[in-house]
Amino acid sequence: MQIVIDIPEKEYNMILLKQEINIGGIASVAEKYIANGTPLPKGHGRLIDADALKMDKRVCGDMYLSKTSLFVANKVIEQAPTIVEADKAESEDKE
């Protein structure tokens, strides 16, 4: 399971420091997971399911998209930077 939570940077840094110096093994289970988590980059945009956006001959409003438009749209989606990796179990079901 993956969870996105908002933690003040000061608290996050304290958890990392606690993990790093291993203060008598006092870190809670939650703190261990937080310390091993992946921080989202500051200023990131919306996190979306890019695979769900892959287009075929779908209608966009009242107009059909040309093959070239579909190709370009799909290339833009494919080349967008990954913020959070796909969950393998779920992404395999979609294929």
Q: Please state, in angstroms and as integers, the Cα–Cα distance from residue 51 to each residue in 10, 46, 58, 78, 85, following that order.
A: 35, 15, 15, 9, 12
Of all residues in the chain, the percent with pLDDT exceeding 90 is 5
The whole-number average pLDDT for the span 60-89 is: 74
Cα–Cα dist 12/7, whole Å: 6
Q: What does the pLDDT read at residue 58? A: 58
For residue 76, being part of any structural domain is answered with yes
Range of the domain at 23: 1-39
For residue 34, being part of any structural domain is answered with yes
Inter-residue contact 51 to 86 (CB < 8 Å): yes
Would the pTM of this model clear 0.75, i.e. be above it?
A: no
**pLDDT above 90 (res 10):** yes
DSSP strands (E only) in the chain: 59-60, 63-64
For residue 84, being part of any structural domain is answered with yes
Residues 35 and 1 in one domain: yes
Inter-residue contact 31 to 13 (CB < 8 Å): no
Counting the structural domains of the chain, the total is 2
Q: What does the pLDDT read at residue 91? A: 46
